[in-house]
Structure 1
Amino acid sequence: MSGEESCLQAICDLKSRHDFLLFVDEAHSFGLHPERTLCTKLGVTDQVDFVMTTLSKSTASIGGVVATSHAFKTFLQVEANAYLFQAAIPPADVAAIIAAMDVIEETPQLLESLWSKVSYMRGKLCDLGLDVGHGTSPIIPVFIRDSDTLLRMGQDMFDQGIFTTSVAYPVVKHSEVRFRFILNESHSYDQIDRTVDVLEKLGRRYGVIAYEDAPHGADVEMR
C-alpha cells in the first residue's frame, strides 16, 4: 500500500533456518526493474516457492501468473479454485501482454525515465516536508494522518484536475490515511510539477504543511 519493498533477503534467510513455504506477490514490482522481478533483482528466486504477478499493471491487460516448481504447479491445477473455475484469457489480451513484454525488453530507456521521474517527485514532496514514507517505488504515498482533511483535500485536488486515490479508514488506520500517487513513464515533468504545486497550496491551507517548511523564497498562493 505504501510502495515499500519487502525485506525479502531477510525473509529468505529466515526461511533457510525454518521450514516454511514462501509466496511472493510481485504485482507492483513486475516489470519495474531491468531484472523484471524483485526476486531476480535480489538473487533469491531459487529460494522462493511461489512468485505471483498480475498482468493488469505493467502489461496493462488481464489475468495473472504464478511461477513455481512442477510439483506445486500440479498441486495448484488440482486444488486452486481460482484456477479450476477460471476462463482462458482472450487472444487479444494475450497479444497485448506479449506486446507489452516486448516493449519492456526492447526499450530499457522507459524504465530509466520512470525511475528518474519517481526520484524527482519524491524529492520535491520531501522538500515540502510531506511524509512520503520510506519507499522508493513509483507508488508514492503522502500521509495526511487525518481522515476529514484527507477527504477535503482529495475533493479539492479533483476540482483542480488532479486525480489520486484517497486511502482512508477502514483500509488503513485513522492515523495512517494517505493519498496514493502512482507514477508511470507517460507522466510528464510538467504534470508532476503541477501536482506538487497543488499539493503544496492545499497542504498549507489545511495545515498539513507548516509555513516554516516552505522552501526559501517560495511563493505560496492561498485561495
Structure 2
Amino acid sequence: MITEAYRNTFAGVLDWVDLAKNNGLYSYEQPFDSAPLATSSLDGRMVTMLTTSNYLGLAGHPEIIAAMKAALDQYGPSACGARLNNGTTSLHLQLEQELAEWMGTESALLFSSGYMANLGAISALCDSDTVIITDQFNHMSILDGCRLAEGSVKIFAHNSMEKLEYVLKRQAGAAKKFVVVDGVYSMDGEIAPLDEIHSLTEQYGALLMVDEAHGVGVLGDTGCGAFEHLGARPDVVMGTFSKSLAGVGGFIAASADVIQFVRHSAHAYLFNASPPAVTIAGVLKALELLRAEPERQEKLWVNTAQFRAGLLNLGLEVMGSVTPVVPIHIGDDMTALRMTKEMLDDGLYVAAAIFPAVPKGSSRLRATVTAAMDDEDIDRALDILGSAAKRHGIIG
C-alpha cells in the first residue's frame, strides 16, 4: 500500500520531475535510433552527440559487430546461469587473461557491469575489521559498495592529501585500512593524485582500489587509466566496458589471491547472471582495437583540447576539468534543464547534471568529448552552446 509516508518520500523526486515534464523541459532517456557516434539519429533527425562515453569512437565498429555476431551464432544470447555454475565460456577466460596482462596484474575478474564490480569488490574486501576511506566525490557505485560493506566508512575532502593523511593517521590502529577513489571523477573531469595517494597508502599500510571507469582507454601510454598516467600501482583496479570499450560489463584486476577471494565471496558475482558471451566477444575485439590503434587516443586528446579551448574562449567555466569529461557550470537546476532542451531542439544533445547527482547549486552541462568528432562537430557544438549560454545570461 502506498501510504502517506511513502508519498512524502517520493515527493522530493516526483515534484521536480513533474515540474520539468509539465514545462516541456524533461530531456532524459531520449530514444536514440543509432549508435552513439559524433552524430546520432533521434526521432528521425541527426543530432550532434556531446554526452556519450564512447571515448574512442568504437561503438558500432564493424569488426566489433562481426565478432559479436559470430559469438551469438556459437554461444546464443545468454548462458542462463551464474559464472560459478554454467556461465563461464572460453571467451570469459580469454578476456580475464588479456585484461590482467594489459593491467599488469596477476589476475582479473569480470562482472555484469561496472556498478556491480565496485559493489562486489568493496563489499567482499571490507569486513567489520576494515576502515574504508573514500573521497567525498566518489561515484555512487563506490558509495553504495561502502554502504553494503560491513566496515566503518571515513570520508575525506575531495582530492585533499592533507585530509587523507589525517584520516590514515587517526586510523593507525585499525586492523585493515581500505582506500578507494575514482581515477577520473565522472562529474568534474578531474584526475585523482594517485601517485600521492599511493605513497600515503604504502606509508600507512592501506590497500588501495582505484575506479578507472573513465580512465580506461583515455589515460596512460597504453590506455590503462589514470594510475598508469601518474605512475602509481593500486592493489585493485576497477574498469568498465561501457565506455571506451563500447560494450557492457566491468572488471577488477588484482593479485591472484584477491581475485580468487572476490570470486568466491562477492555476492554481486556469485548470485548474478554471467555477462553473455556475445558481449564478451565484442569487448575482446574492442580491446584489440584499442591496443592496436593508439591514434584513437591521440585524436581524443586533440579534440578535448580544442573543445575546452573553445569553451574558455566563450567565457564558460569548465570547473577544473583536464580530461574528456568537461562539465560546464550553470548553477541553477531549471536553467540547466531549459538549456538542455533548447540545445536538443537546435540539434545538440548534452545532458544536464543536477542535484542529487551533483551538490545543490552546482548544476552543470556534462559534456564528453570523443575521438569520433571532427572539427565541424566541435565547432557546431560550441556555436549552439554559446548561443544558449548567452540567452540565459551565463555569458555576456
TM-score normalized by the length of structure 1? 0.89
Counterpart position of 2:283: 97
Q: How does 1:101-112 map to 2 (within 5 A)?
A: 101-112=287-298
Q: Deviations over 1:114-142 (max 9, x none)?
A: 11000000000011110001122111110
Kindly report the root-mean-square deviation, in angstroms, between the aligned alpha carbons of the 2 structures.
1.2
1:41 is the counterpart of 2:229: yes
1:200 is the counterpart of 2:347: no
1:71 is the counterpart of 2:257: yes
- Report if the CA contact (8 A) 1:35-1:41 is conserved: no
Larger C-alpha radius of gyration, 1 or 2? 2
Q: How does 1:20-169 map to 2 (within 5 A)?
A: 20-33=206-219, 34-37=221-224, 38-45=226-233, 48-169=234-355
- Report if the CA contact (8 A) 2:242-2:248 is conserved: yes
SS in 2 for 1:196: helix
Q: CA deviation at 1:88?
A: 2.4
Aligned-partner Cα distance in 1 for 2:357–2:228: 30
1:13 is the counterpart of 2:199: yes
Bigger strand fraction: 2
Q: CA deviation at 1:174?
A: 2.4
Q: CA deviation at 1:89?
A: 2.4
Q: Deviations over 1:115-174 (max 9, x none)?
A: 100000000001111000112211111010111211111110111111111001121122
Aligned-partner Cα distance in 2 for 1:153–1:203: 8
Structure 2 gap ranges (5+): 1-186
Aligned-partner Cα distance in 1 for 2:372–2:290: 14
Q: CA deviation at 1:101?
A: 1.1
Aligned-partner Cα distance in 2 for 1:112–1:90: 31
TM-score normalized by the length of structure 2? 0.51
Q: CA deviation at 1:18?
A: 1.1
- Report if the CA contact (8 A) 1:77-1:83 is conserved: yes
Letter in 2 for 1:36: G
Q: Percent identity of the aligned residues?
A: 34
Which of structures 1 and 2 has the larger relative contact order (alpha carbons within 8 angstroms, sep 6+)? 2
Aligned-partner Cα distance in 2 for 1:4–1:41: 13
Counterpart position of 1:181: 367
Q: CA deviation at 1:184?
A: 1.2
- Report if the CA contact (8 A) 2:222-2:291 is conserved: no
- Report if the CA contact (8 A) 2:328-2:364 is conserved: yes
Letter in 2 for 1:127: N
Aligned-partner Cα distance in 2 for 1:67–1:30: 12
SS in 2 for 1:31: coil
Runs of 4+ in 1 over 6 A off after TM superposition: none
Letter in 2 for 1:202: A
Structure 1 gap ranges (5+): 211-223
Count of residues in Structure 1 that have an aligned counterpart in Structure 2: 208
